[in-house]
A and B are shown apart, each in its own frame.
Chain A
Amino acid sequence: MTAAILPDPTGERLDRPAVVRSRGHGANVLRRLLRNPVAMIAATILLLLILVAIFAPWLMPADPYATSMLKRLKPIGTEGMPLGSDELGRDLLSRLMLGARLSLFMGIAPVVMAFVIGGSIGILAGYAGGWLNTVVMRCVDVLYAFPSVLLAIALSGALGAGITNSLVSLTVVFVPQIARIAESVTTGVRRSDYVDAARASGASSLLIIRKHVLGNVIGPVFVYATSLISVSMILASGLSFLGLGVKPPQPEWGLMLNTLRTAIYTQPWIAALPGLLIFITSVSFNMLADGLRSAMEVKQ
């Protein structure tokens, strides 16, 4: 029964040579992502937009709320107004800069909240399996059955206009989508031998989820969530466009698109600018998500 685990019989620990450590999965993904030019361009654009949004109050050339009947709908390149002015004569560049704050916030915040809530629901349901999984996922499917635009509009309409309410309704729209992905990935992980091995070592379910499931599930779910940011931005803009989101005079790209649409025949470029920004931002988020996906999918 004597077990000679140790190389030396005295039981003293030998001087151990330093352990060579391999790069972790996260570091590998980051390295591959950094080598992907498209993803890097998208990331740079997003970084710039986020910086502009953060420092908007100091970067703005003019007061975004100051109206002037004389300077209405000035074209791009007008002196003092590099991007022209809107229907109330407010400086468009300043409004676009400040609007980036709300637009980005409405793109990211609902997805982050849905990531936490939907991810937890999906992981717990997927790990529990059996009838609990069936019950939870059928409930999620009920929400999933509604078209997302319709659901967002219906919820916002019922809750009333405002930023908080659009945030809530957008979160509700994304929770089922993220929960489904998290559930399916978790179900796959739960059936793997390494989870069985962890169970065989006597670990509790919570510990197994924390140590073995989370790390393997969070990646794919995160990628999916990143691709939802653009959807969220567009939906939020849509809600503002319909008057269910941000209230005027606060600048937000969707709302600006709405108020400027009457000028589409007189100043088409001005009217298109907020839309263009929405487009650029959402495409960038999608490109980044794509890059992230391919960086994670590399077979090892």
Chain B
Amino acid sequence: MSLSQQQLVNEFRDVGGARQPLLIVRGLKKYFPLKSTGFGLRRERLAVRAVDGINFEILKGETLGVVGESGCGKSTTARLLMQLTEQDSGELIFDGQALGSRGLPLREYRRQTQMVFQDSYSSLNPRMTIEDSIAFGPTVHGVSKREALERAHDLLLRVGLEPARFAGRYPHELSGGQRQRVNIARALALEPRLIILDESVSALDKSVEAQVLNLLQDLKQAFGLTYLFISHDLNVVHYLCDRVLVMYLGEVVEVGPADALFEAPLHPYTQALLRSMPTTDPLQRTEEAPLAGDPPNPINPPSGCRFHTRCQDARAVCASVAPIFHEAVPGRRVACLKYQPDSGYETAQIPLREVTHG
């Protein structure tokens, strides 16, 4: 496919116009059932509520960061978006078209959405050369083998790996950073519009990480991509992302523009998360742990607001009333009773429990 052709296709692909979110996620839910204990009637159906009815949008051309503690459902969300795991309920609307509808079969959706995994080594077939790994996707979609290999070489060059040196090699002969560049090239080979980066740079050395992040920025510009950037590194998220989504225990607790969110986080969990960022400023150093303990068990999450067990601002009402995810400040949505009018938060003044400091 020549350059002008691809441009044409990309314009043709933009179905809903610039204002239409690239991906709307509605009520996405995934429970992983556990091995049931007991027999017959006493049998309990337990499930890990990995992702519990989340709603958000990914806008065209943005980088949406997803942050949260380990086990909060970030990676499950990524796998659900990539449809590697099937959701229990909820729908994905890609550029105005519901996934699975006639306008957007799964196969076509997978061409437009690609993913880069965390483990650069295990995400490449050890028995395939680099060029074959990259060329595999296009051949699945009917591109001839020769053309696919040519595209693979072009992409290798684009991600900073000289094709003559690297195309014929095997994954184990490359460094972690080089492998992750190959994984990025493979994701690009299908000419996607959305790329899900699931902790894609977390396993790399800091210096290599910076190089790959810059590469991702360049590629985003050059190919007009949209990123969903999942990471636990808040500094990187702040640097890279336009908007940030905060997850806690399978739910979205806050979404907002990155700068505003890092400047003045609304949700107490976001506040605690940001306080946990290591700082080089001696005046900002703190001895206290901003978030005590582990997150509660996702099999049996706390009632009301899920964060109330660890929240500094929790009131009695938080244990009984589940907050609604709403727009508290223009452009920023949060799920916290503090910002919810008539939630009963203000009237209940007795703290749920003593929060001890230091």
Contact = CB atoms under 8 A, between A and B. Distances in A.
Given A19-B168, A194-B123, A200-B115, A3 B224 contact: yes
Given A16-B163, A21-B168, A203-B140, A216 B3 contact: no
Among B140, B186, B223, find the residue whose CB has the most chain A CB atoms closer than 10 A.
B140
For this complex, into which size category does the number of interface residues on chain B fall?
35 or more
A201 B114 CA distance: 7
Interface string A174-209: 000000000000000000111011111111000100
Nearest to B121: A193
Contacts of B119: 193
Interface stretch (B147-155, B297-305, B341-349): B147-155
A197 B123 contact: yes
A70 interface: no
A233 to B, nearest CB: 31
Contacts of A261: none
Given A194-B122, A197-B186, A6 B154 contact: yes
Contact of B126 (A1, A11, A199, A300): A300
B280 interface: no
A212 B137 CA distance: 12
Given A200-B115, A202-B107, A17 B122 contact: no
A11 B4 CA distance: 10
Among B111, B127, B186, B190, find the residue whose CB has the most chain A CB atoms closer than 10 A.
B127
Among A25, A200, A203, A212, find the residue whose CB has the most chain B CB atoms closer than 10 A.
A200
Contacts of B150: 13
Nearest to A219: B127
A200 to B, nearest CB: 5
Interface residues of A, number: 35
B157 interface: yes
B168 A20 contact: yes
Contact of B153 (A4, A16, A20, A200): A16
Nearest to A299: B172
Contacts of B172: 300
Interface stretch (B6-14, B43-51, B254-262): B6-14
B125 interface: yes
A52 B300 CA distance: 71
Contacts of B165: 20
A27 to B, nearest CB: 11
Contacts of A215: 125, 127-128
A300 B119 CA distance: 16
B131 interface: yes
A72 B128 CA distance: 61
Interface string A214-251: 01100000000000000000000000000000000000
Contacts of B115: 196-197, 200
Closest 5 CB pairs of A and B: A21-B168, A193-B123, A201-B137, A300-B172, A1-B224
26 contacts: A1-B11, A2-B3, A2-B222, A11-B3, A19-B153, A19-B164, A20-B165, A21-B168, A22-B173, A24-B127, A25-B126, A25-B127, A193-B122, A194-B124, A197-B123, A199-B84, A200-B83, A201-B114, A201-B190, A202-B107, A203-B137, A203-B140, A207-B140, A215-B125, A216-B125, A300-B170
Interface of A: 1-7, 11, 13, 16-22, 24-25, 192-194, 196-203, 207, 211-212, 215-216, 300
